[in-house]
Amino acid sequence: MMFVQRIFAIIIKEIRQLGRDRLTFGMIIGIPLMQIILFGYAINMDVRHLNGGIVDLADTYSSRKFTAAIQATQVIDFVVTSDSAEGLIDRMRQGDIKVGVVIPADFDRRLVDSSRAAAQLLIDGSDTSIANIAAQLRDMRFDIRSVTSAQKVSLLEVRNYFNPERRSAVQIVPALIGVILNLTMVLFTSVAVVRERERGNLEMLITTPIRNIELMIGKITPYVVIGLIQVSIILAVGILLFNIPIVGSMLDLYAGSLIFIAATLSLGLAISTWAKTQFQAMQLTFFTYLPSILLSGFMFPYDGMPQFAQWLGKLLPLTHFVEMIRGIVLRGATFSDLWSSTLALLVFFVVMMSIAVLRFRKRLD
């Protein structure tokens, strides 16, 4: 009986301790709810409404009917109009569109000749999941060809850019830079202030004239160097083992990585001002890490998510870095091409750093 009573006493103690730890109690409820909502609703493998571009050099009744038929599938939304295929490729390189349709000037004559494709479907192959889905349009029948001619080949000829072999490693490895940095950088700094408090170092900081902003910058600077070392390691492994091509500038790649590292470090500092223990800091880190993985476009097609999930994903730095790193590494994009992602990361850094500086107090309580 004493054995049971002692175990029961420990159980009561743990329950009361969990009841006082509001953050842990919130995680017990919040993490399962977040997972079921994200996996069950926000993650959608049936991709629809891909941003696309159209080049209609024929401008005939048949070409307009064909364009309307493609839009009716709800796979592509034509948001860009260009006068050449090169224009669509440039917009694809900048990340504005994922697919493009080029209708040649002799479109009507090609409809009669059922031995060749009547139009071209340009696909951004840097995301293999979108490439596979968009390529399904090739097998669709649009009832555009003459009824007197048998459809021997597809209406659409598929052109896969930036990853013609459709290798998954080409898509995954560059984005892994962001995924790994997002975990390590946030985790390192989320326990920074908490560790100072638990080890008693905060008592010494209280007596120093160091300002909050100076303390925060001093804490993240060493981790910036660590982050750049991690980027170099991942790139080296990706090139040596997976033969990942680096199409863009290495300077742009490291500059973009530097901005992302600063953004994730500022998030970790903001988390450290809320957490009271290192365990709570790690809990909050993984609480932000899961949505980043699911909503950034790393695992699931970003364009296939509901609108509200895309808005939520845009609040996370990993979403913008995945678009940036794939653009630089695979599509050869430059900073000027990816200015919106760069601006989003800079804004995130300023906001999170401001929160961390304003919330931090050099007090033991």
- Region 337-363: what's the mean pLDDT? 88
Supply the pLDDT for residue 170: 85
**Contact criterion met (CB below 8 Å) for 293 and 286:** no
Claim to verify: residue 253 and residue 156 sit in the same structural domain: no
Domain count, the chain: 2
Q: How far apart are CA 163 and CA 170, in angstroms?
A: 7
* pLDDT for 301: 75
Q: Are residues 148 and 279 in the same domain?
A: no
Do 207 and 181 fall into the same domain? yes
Distance CA 213, CA 360 (A): 10
- Tokens at 102, concatenated: 């080029």
pLDDT for position 160:
87
Range of the domain at 122: 50-161
| pLDDT(207) > 60 | yes
Task: Tell how far CA 50 is from the center of its chain.
Answer: 16
Distances (CA, A) of 313 to 34, 43, 278, 296, 300: 14, 12, 27, 6, 12
* Per-residue pLDDT at 363 exceeds 80: no
What is the tens place of the pLDDT at every residue in 50-79? 889 999 999 999 899 999 988 888 888 899
Say whether both 86 and 110 belong to one domain: yes
Q: 120: how many CB neighbours lie within 10 A of its CB? A: 17
- Please check whether residues 86 and 131 belong to one and the same domain: yes
pLDDT of 47 reads: 74
Q: Which amino acid is at 334?
A: T
Structural domain contains residue 31? no
- Boundary of a domain, candidates 142, 161, 180: 161
Distance CA 285, CA 298 (A): 18
Is residue 226 within 8 A of residue 188, CB to CB? The reply is: yes
Provide Rg for the chain, Cα atoms.
26
Q: Residue 262 corresponds to which tokens in the numbers above?
A: 């600063």
From residue 354, give the alpha-carbon distance in Å to each of 208, 310, 318, 358, 361.
21, 25, 20, 6, 13
**CATH code at position 91:** 3.40.1710.10
Residues 177 and 323 grouped into a single domain: yes
Q: Is residue 135 part of a domain?
A: yes
Do residues 78 and 67 make contact, with C-beta atoms less than 8 angstroms apart? Answer: yes
Specify whether 190 is located in the same domain as 134. Answer: no
Tell which wins on pLDDT, 323 or 21: 323
Task: Let me know whether 270 and 143 are in one domain.
Answer: no
One-letter amino acid identity for 28? I
Hey, which bits of the chain come out as E strands? 50-56, 76-81, 99-103, 119-124, 156-161
Tokens standing for 77? 């939304």
Domain boundary among 129, 161, 193: 161
Contacts of 301 (CB under 8 A, 6+ apart): 45, 47, 127, 129, 130, 133
Q: What pTM was estimated for this model as a whole? A: 0.83
Confidence class of residue 309 from pLDDT cuts 50, 70 and 90? confident
Task: Summarize pLDDT for 138-175 with one digit per residue, the tens.
Answer: 777 776 655 444 455 578 888 888 887 778 888 888 99
Residues 331 and 350 in one domain: yes
Q: What is the tens place of the pLDDT at every residue in 326-336?
A: 999 989 998 88
- Higher pLDDT residue, 304 or 96? 96
What is the structure's pLDDT at 25?
64
Q: What is the mean pLDDT of residues 199-214?
A: 70
Q: 200 and 151, same structural domain?
A: no
**Domain final position from 128, 161, 194:** 161
- As a whole number, the mean pLDDT across the chain is 83
**For residue 217, how far is the Cα from the chain centroid?**
26
Q: Are residues 154 and 207 in the same domain?
A: no
Whether the predicted pLDDT of 304 surpasses 50: yes
